[in-house]
A and B are shown apart, each in its own frame.
Chain A
Amino acid sequence: MTAPRVRIAVQDLAKTFHEGTREVPAVAGVSFDVADQEFVAIVGPSGCGKSTILNMIGALVAPSGGRILVDGAPVAGRAPRQVGYVFQKDTVFPWRTVQRNIALALEYRGAPAAERAARVKEAIALAGLQGFEEAFPATLSGGMRQRVALMRSLVADPEILLMDEPFGALDTHTKLTLHAELLALWEAKRQTVVFVTHDLSEAITLADRVVVMTRRPGRIKLVYSVKLPRPRDVIRIRETEEYSREYGEIWHALGEEFMPGEPQPQARRQ
């Protein structure tokens, strides 16, 4: 069996922000690969640069050092076509109804009206948004808006999906529901996913591998392979011993990064 194709290669990536005359290193020496159809989560304390890494993969932020290859081609200027992005912030267009938001990618592509209507209908059914087709986002809950944002991205059929704490602002219950929905959608299409979060249980529930970051400047502290079998039941999985063991192991590594005081560089080994 050959090794799975590498979709995203992050090589010695670094980012330094300039705040006035001060240089603030956000990310330093980060390297990892994401294989085809793999679900990778990046966790770390806030300010560790995990979102910055995602922004660099999505070409929203230019790296200060190192490089990123998506399907072998260096990322520069503009995100490759096969990449979709779900933002942490609510980016549903408030002046468009639910179905016109979901239709955006198809409109941009110039898809015929009949195809558009059929695809949107399918997406709305998948997300359980029936009855809200004509609703404006202002009338929806945060969870429903994030569902719209997710379906809007998926309708474009991205092979690679970058997700920046998409469920960060939601309550636990809504979050779990959306985890289940996301996993079901992902099992069906098997996109390559990079999912940034500060919520460790979210990372373990969803991902094949968890990249644990150190505090600023963010480096990789640990790359952990989650062994939990798929398909996963987002509720039951939490009651398994395997889950607790893996949670404990990653938490131990992550916990050091939440300790007060300076992080000890000698403790960092990859």
Chain B
Amino acid sequence: MTSDRWRILAWQVAILVAVVAAWEYLTGIKAISRMPGLYWIDPFFISRPSKIVERFMHLAGGSVRLSIWAMAWSTVQSTLWGFLVGISTGFVAGLVLGRSERLARVCSPFIVAFNSLPRIALVPLITMIFGFGLLAKVVLAWSIVFFIVFFNTFQGARSVDADLIHSARFLGANERQVMWSVIVPSALAWTFASLTPSISFALIGVVVGEFIGGESGGGLGYLIIQSLGTLNAADMMVALVVLGVIGIVMALGIRQVEARLLRWRPEYQKR
């Protein structure tokens, strides 16, 4: 088992090293970019690892007006806010509509319509309303997360096992106690299952918001768009690498939280 895990890790490291080495080596050979179809193997387009590290050090240093840390923090902050607000509002809405047949039927067409709208199309409108700052990014992330959590919770609240509710009543539960001891925990199990996709989508929402948010919103999306304007592939790559790291760390964190919250589920049982 353990030796197997080490072997897999060794392979993963080897692949990473090989790709980075090939990238560094091939972009150093001018002749390749002159071949037809391979023009993009050129530092101008895809930069090169050494250049990216150099730019990273520069952007991380104190000499720049907006450091990579400040941008990363702005992105993380907006993502977490959008995620938290999206989860809480999505959960409450899903629970309320999931337990009220009539309300669900009234709201259903509006929800479907709003959810089918590509959220990116809303970016200009949200920017007009909420300006170029943090708020617009949070709203955008929220508008995506809300629906993911809403639909999951809605489904969860509707599929609560009727016999669990009956058994709670036989044990003397009043309606409020049935809500808190049966319906909320049942629905939460579904909500938790939507956390991992939610955090990824929150990050997407935020980066898209940053694309047009300008400098006042800051963030890594801003660095990407700015690099496009100055045709600076190295800075763009720095932003992408940092975004990738943020995405991985957040997903791993959420998975830990999920495993903790759903530890009663068979798939999380160690025995």
Q: Which residues of A contact B (CB under 8 A)?
A: 58, 60, 78-79, 81, 83-85, 87, 89, 91, 93-97, 104-105, 107-109, 136-139, 149, 152-153, 156
* CB of B63 closer than 8 Å to a CB of A: no
Q: Give chain B residues whose Cβ lies under 8 Å from the Cβ of A139.
A: 269, 271
Say whether B264 contacts A138, CB under 8 Å.
yes
Q: Is B189 an interface residue (CB 8 A)?
A: yes
1/0 contact trace for B135-169 toward A, CB 8 Å? 00000000000000000000000000101101111
Q: What's the nearest-Cβ distance from chain B to residue A163, in Å?
A: 12
Is the pair B163, A89 in contact by a Cβ cutoff of 8 Å? yes
7 closest pairs, A vs B, by CB? A136-B264, A105-B171, A138-B266, A91-B167, A85-B170, A108-B172, A108-B173
B169: chain A residues at CB < 8 Å are 78-79
- Taking CB as reference atom, which chain A residue is nearest B270? A139
Across the interface, do A93 and B170 meet the contact criterion of CB distance under 8 Å? no
Q: A95-B264, A139-B271 are in contact. Are A87 and B167 (CB under 8 A)?
A: yes
Check A87–B163 contact: CB distance below 8 A: yes
Q: State the CA gap A158–B93 with chains docked (Å).
A: 37
Residue B182 interfacial (CB < 8 Å): yes
**Would you give the shortest CB distance from B266 to chain A, in whole angstroms?**
4
Per-residue contact bits, chain B 214-238, to A (CB 8 Å; 1 contact, 0 not):
0000000000000000000000000
B108 within 8 Å of A (CB atoms): no
Chain B minimum-CB-distance residue to A138:
B266
Cα-based distance from A179 to B189 in the complex (angstroms): 35
CA A107 to CA B181, docked complex, whole Å: 10
CB distance from B124 to the nearest CB of A (A): 44
Binding site for A on B (CB under 8 A): 161, 163-164, 166-174, 177, 181-182, 185, 189, 263-266, 269, 271
Contacts of B170 in A (CB 8 A): 58, 79, 83-85, 153, 156
The answer to whether B271 touches A104 (Cβ under 8 A) is no
Is the CB–CB distance between A85 and B167 below 8 Å? yes
The contact of A138 among B166, B171, B185, B269, by CB within 8 Å, is B269
Cβ–Cβ contact B166 & A152, under 8 A: no
Residues of chain B lying within 8 A (CB to CB) of residue A91: 161, 163-164, 166-167
Question: Shortest beta-carbon distance, A146 to chain B, in Å?
Answer: 13
A108, B171: Cβ atoms closer than 8 Å: yes
* Residue of A83, A104, A149 most packed against chain B (CB within 10 A): A104
| Complex Cα gap A208–B48 (Å) | 86
Q: Interface residues of B: mostly helix, strand, loop or mixed? A: helix
CA distance A152 to B161 in the complex (A): 18
Complex contacts, B163 vs chain A, CB 8 Å = 87, 89, 91
Query: Which of chain B's residues has its CB closest to A155's CB?
Result: B171
Our pick among A58, A81, A87, A94 for the contact of B172 (Cβ within 8 Å) is: A81
Interchain CB contact under 8 A, A104 and B264: no
A138→B168 contact, CB < 8 A: no
Q: List 5 A-B contacts (CB under 8 A).
A: A91-B164, A93-B182, A93-B185, A95-B264, A108-B174
> Nearest A residue to B263 by beta-carbon distance?
A136
**A104 to B266 Cα, complex, angstroms:** 22
A138 touches B265 (CB 8 A): yes
Q: B161, B170, B177, B266 — which one has the most chain A CB atoms within 10 A of its CB?
A: B170
Known: A87-B167, A104-B181, A138-B264. 11 other contacts (CB 8 A): A58-B170, A85-B167, A89-B163, A91-B164, A93-B181, A95-B185, A107-B177, A108-B177, A136-B269, A139-B269, A139-B271
By beta carbon, the residue of chain B nearest A97 is B264
Quick check: A93 and B164 within 8 Å, CB to CB? yes
Contact of A152 among B171, B264, B266 (CB under 8 A): B171
How far does the alpha carbon of A18 sit from the alpha carbon of B53 in the complex, in Å?
73
Q: Which residue of A lies closest to B166 (CB)?
A: A60
A149 to B163, CA, bound (A): 12
Q: Contact between B189 and A95 (Cβ–Cβ < 8 Å)? A: yes
Given contact pairs A94-B264, A138-B265, A139-B271, A156 touches B167 in the complex (Cβ within 8 A) = no
Residues in chain A near residue B189, CB distance under 8 A? 95
Q: How far is the CA of A93 from the CA of B174 in the complex (A)?
A: 17
What is the CA–CA distance of A137 and B271 in the complex, to the nearest angstrom? Answer: 12
Q: Which residue of A lies closest to B265 (CB)?
A: A138
Decide if B171 touches A153 in the complex (CB within 8 Å).
yes
Residues of chain B within 8 A (CB-CB) of A84 are: 170-171
Q: State the CA gap A58–B16 with chains docked (Å).
A: 65
Given A108-B173, A138-B266, A152-B171: A85 in contact with B182 (beta carbons within 8 A):
no
Q: Which residues of B contact A87 (CB under 8 A)?
A: 163, 166-167
Pick from A89, A136, A156: contact of B171, CB below 8 A.
Answer: A156
Name the contact of A156 in the complex, choosing from B161, B164, B172, B266 (C-beta under 8 A): B172
Counting chain B CB atoms within 10 Å of each CB, which of A87, A95, A109 scores highest? A95
Docked CA distance A109–B263 (Å): 27
State how many angstroms separate the Cβ of B226 from the closest Cβ of chain A. 48
